[in-house]
Amino acid sequence: ICQEIKTKYEYADADYMVVVPSGILDIITEGRALHHCAGSSDRYWDRIERRESFVMFLRKTDDPFHAYYTLEVEPDGTVRQKRTLFDRQHEDIEQATDFLRRWQKVIAERLTGRDLKLAAESRILREKEFIQLKKDRVIIHTGHLAGKLLVDVLMADLMENTDSIQSPALAAAA
């Protein structure tokens, strides 16, 4: 799946780049390097297999092989999560977020009707999960986010790709 989606989702500018991993080993290595669960949780493997979301890497263009941020991305480019060392976000994420907005615009033009259908299904699954997390009052128990509701953290991270539904070419394809 990673090889199949590379050309659609990879993008770079002078400062940042979105890199699609070559496979599972890259995701495991990234998770270990940044000390978070992306490489060790079955949840992500299941989502990738169903094409609900994909794990991608945000890199600095001048240091493309150094783990920077890990992204969880829905098929339309909606960013569910963006996390660095120990599941954190630093102040530099604001600059990177501007890049990610530009990336979303670029990939919106690359999406197919199938991508949009998968994205719609992904959005429904995400919303159901958020409702359940809120209902169950799931609290984070470890790390710097300990004591916070998981749904609040996930909602704060969410970056919907509004460009994917505004593209005339995509509207015609759907």
How do residues 40-72 score in pLDDT, each as one tens digit?
678 888 999 999 999 999 999 999 999 999 999
Residue 5 belongs to what H/E stretch? helix 2-9
Return the pLDDT at 98.
94
Query: Quick one: how far is CA 110 from the chain centroid?
Result: 17
Give the integer Cα–Cα distance in Å for 168 and 140: 41
Residue with tokens 């995509």: 170
Rounded Cα distance between 172 and 30, Å, is 38
User: For residues 12 and 28, what is the distance between their CA atoms, to the nearest angstrom?
Assistant: 23
pLDDT, residue 69, reads: 96
User: Which range has the worst mean pLDDT, 40-44, 109-113, 131-135, 164-168?
Assistant: 164-168
Whole-number pLDDT of residue 41: 75
Q: What is residue 68's predicted lDDT score, i.e. its pLDDT? A: 97
Mean pLDDT within 126-132: 96
pTM exceeds 0.85 for this model? yes
Phi, psi of 164 (to 5 degrees): -70, -20
